[in-house]
Structure 1
Amino acid sequence: MARGRSPGYDDQRELILRHAAELFARRGYPATSMNEVAEACGLSKPTLYHYFRDKYNLLVHIADGHVSRLQALVEEVEGQQLEPEARLRELIQRFVQEYAEAQHAHRVLTEDVRFLQPEDSERILGKERAVVAVFAQALAQMRPDTDAAGLTKALTMLLFGMINWMFTWLKPDGELDYETMAPIVADLFLGGVPAVRMPAARAKKAPRR
């Protein structure tokens, strides 16, 4: 009889994926070893292999898991049946806020996808394309002239350029955070700089010791 999984099996897998994503994001996928992942998780290497068969398996789960969560966000927003502009604003805000909690996984997806084998790469990139298509559809419905001019895809990719690389300059301990920036990204994209609304005054964070 096959042994059942322990009650905390899925939680342990998620913990391993979070630590591996952080290591991959900081050191790069090629430079990170399974020994380092095991050490970061406080596990022995044999125990780590009980959850994931190798480093590549970790990479696939991190990238696929992240883009699958983005797909789920899209489905949630689509289920609200909002008008095109409201839908696009909601998509932007939800994605920016999601990236705040998944910065390492997002960095792995954007920078280490080139290490995926063709079959995995095509599946994961296919999910990405489906996500982008929903943004493009909302934009085309809001501004049909962009579609007629062949600009919808370009504008959509400019939007993702703003969202995807925020982690390179928006620091966790800075004066701005993802929650504050989410509506600003929407304002900037949908109306340009004159449309950006200033966030409400916020108390300054205490200096770090």
Structure 2
Amino acid sequence: MGRGRAAGYNDQRELILAHAAHLFARRGYPSTSMNQVAEACGLSKATLYHYYRDKYSLLVSIAEGHVSRLQTLVREVEAEGLPPERQLRELIRRIVEEYADAQDAHRVLTEDVKFLEDADRERVLNQERDVVNGFARAVGGLRRELHQADLSKPLTMLLFGMINWMFTWMKPEGELDYDAMAPIVADLFLGGLGAVHPPSNTTTTAG
């Protein structure tokens, strides 16, 4: 009988992924070594290889894990059966909330997916398409004429254009945080600049 995994094995794997994502996001995937990942985790290189066989497996796990969580949140929101506008606002809130805790993984997904092998890259990109399609369904449900004019997906990509790059300018220590930004993004997308309401007691921004 094979030896079972020690308690905390999965927790250690997740901790390793978090450190690796931070290094990949800051240094770039090609410039990060397994030695650096092991050092960041406080592990020996031999112990690191017990959890992940190589740097590439780390990249796959980071990218696929992040986009899988996005898929899950889309499915969860759709299952709630909310009215169209509430559904879209909830999708925006949930994905902005997810990005707040996954900036490193999101940067890796955005910038390092090109280093994946063809089959892995296509699988991850298909998962991303599934997320986009979920948002496009919400947009189309809100404005049927936009869906009929094949504009649901282009408008969704414009929405993601606002959301996907927030990590490049949001200051984690700033007064304007992700919780405050989510309704602003929804207001701007749904109603234009005139519909945006400043969050209460907020005086600073990014930049």
Asked if 1:177 corresponds to 2:177, the answer is yes
Equivalent pair of 2:29/2:112 in contact (CA under 8 Å):
yes
Partner amino acid for 1:29?
Y
Structure 1 residue 100: Cα displacement:
0.3
Structure 1 residue 5: Cα displacement:
0.3
Structure 1 residue 72: Cα displacement:
1.1
Partner amino acid for 1:21?
A
Structure-1 residue corresponding to 2:92: 92
Structure-1 residue corresponding to 2:22: 22
Give the distance between the partners of 1:88 and 1:25, measured in 2 at CA: 29
Structure 1 residue 150: Cα displacement:
2.5
Partner amino acid for 1:55?
K
Structure 1 residue 79: Cα displacement:
1.4
Structure 1 residue 149: Cα displacement:
2.5
Asked if 1:133 corresponds to 2:133, the answer is yes
Structure-1 residue corresponding to 2:79: 79
Cα-to-partner distance string for 1:3-52 (whole Å, 9 max, x where unaligned): 11000100000000000000000000000000000000000000000000
Cα-to-partner distance string for 1:105-125 (whole Å, 9 max, x where unaligned): 010001100001111111111
Structure-1 residue corresponding to 2:167: 167
SS for the counterpart of 1:200 is coil
Equivalent pair of 2:176/2:202 in contact (CA under 8 Å):
no
* TM-score normalised by structure 2 residue count: 0.96
Structure 1 residue 203: Cα displacement:
8.8
Structure-2 residue corresponding to 1:49: 49
Structure 1 residue 147: Cα displacement:
2.0
Cα-to-partner distance string for 1:172-192 (whole Å, 9 max, x where unaligned): 012211011011000010111
Q: Could you tell me the percent identity over the aligned residues?
A: 69
Give the distance between the partners of 2:163 and 2:50, measured in 1 at CA: 36
SS for the counterpart of 2:131 is helix
- List structure 1 runs of 4+ shifted beyond 3 angstroms: none
Structure-1 residue corresponding to 2:117: 117
Give the distance between the partners of 1:156 and 1:146, measured in 2 at CA: 11
Q: How many pairs are equivalent?
A: 204
Structure-1 residue corresponding to 2:154: 154
Partner amino acid for 1:52?
Y
Structure 1 residue 148: Cα displacement:
2.6
Give the distance between the partners of 2:188 and 2:161, measured in 1 at CA: 13
CA RMSD of the aligned region, Å? 1.2
Asked if 1:188 corresponds to 2:196, the answer is no
Equivalent pair of 2:34/2:54 in contact (CA under 8 Å):
yes
Equivalent pair of 2:35/2:45 in contact (CA under 8 Å):
yes
SS for the counterpart of 2:43 is coil
Structure 1 residue 2: Cα displacement:
1.2
